[in-house]
Amino acid sequence: MSAAPQPGLPCRSERTAFRVVGGEALVMVVDRKELHRLNDVGSRVFELCDGRTTVDAIVESIVREFAVDVPTARADVEHFIRELAATGAILFEGDA
């Protein structure tokens, strides 16, 4: 099984610093000098963006861990990943 990030899957940028504190995460997007604070759900989504986990699998994890229904989780996760991508904290590995 390969541990390498897969094309098209969300992956934390190597140019971010990331620490979880009290269930929440601080994410520094180094090149933009932008600091973000994520709540517990956001922190978990960010953790799962490892370049090997599909968005579907992330949604499944969130549904299982936070007792939320699938449509709500999918909408929130997809929106949040787009938001993170816009900040540069997440890349889609292999995409141009």
Partner 1 sequence: MLDFAVARPGPTHARFAFGGVAFEVEAGEGVGWRLWPEFARHVCDPDRFPVVARVQCSVAIDASLPGVASPSRAFTVERRGDAPETTVVASRDLCAELEADGPGRYIASVRIPPLRPDDTDPQGPDAVVLGLAAAILEREGGISLHAAAIELDGHAVLFVGPSGAGKSTAARLSVGCRSFAFDRVNVAPDNTRSGGYVAWSLPGGSRIAVPQSAHRRLPLAAILRVRQAHPHAAPRVERLSAAKALFAVRESMWLSDLSPTAEENRIDAAALLRARIPVGEIHTVLGHSHTALLSSFAFERAGGIAEPEPQLEACDGCAP
Interacting residues toward partner 1 by CB under 8 A: 14-19, 21-26, 28, 30-31, 33-42, 80, 83-84, 87
Tokens coding 70:
């699938």
Q: How far is the CB of 40 from partner 1 (least distance, A)?
A: 8
Nearer to partner 1, 23 or 71 (CB): 23
Q: Which residue has the tokens 């370049």?
A: 51
| Residues whose CB is less than 8 angstroms from the CB of residue 7 and which lie 6 or more positions away in sequence, other chains included | 92, 93, 94, 95
Nearer to partner 1, 9 or 25 (CB): 25
Nearer to partner 1, 24 or 60 (CB): 24
User: How far lies 79's CA from each of 4, 20, 22, 75, in Å?
Assistant: 25, 21, 24, 6
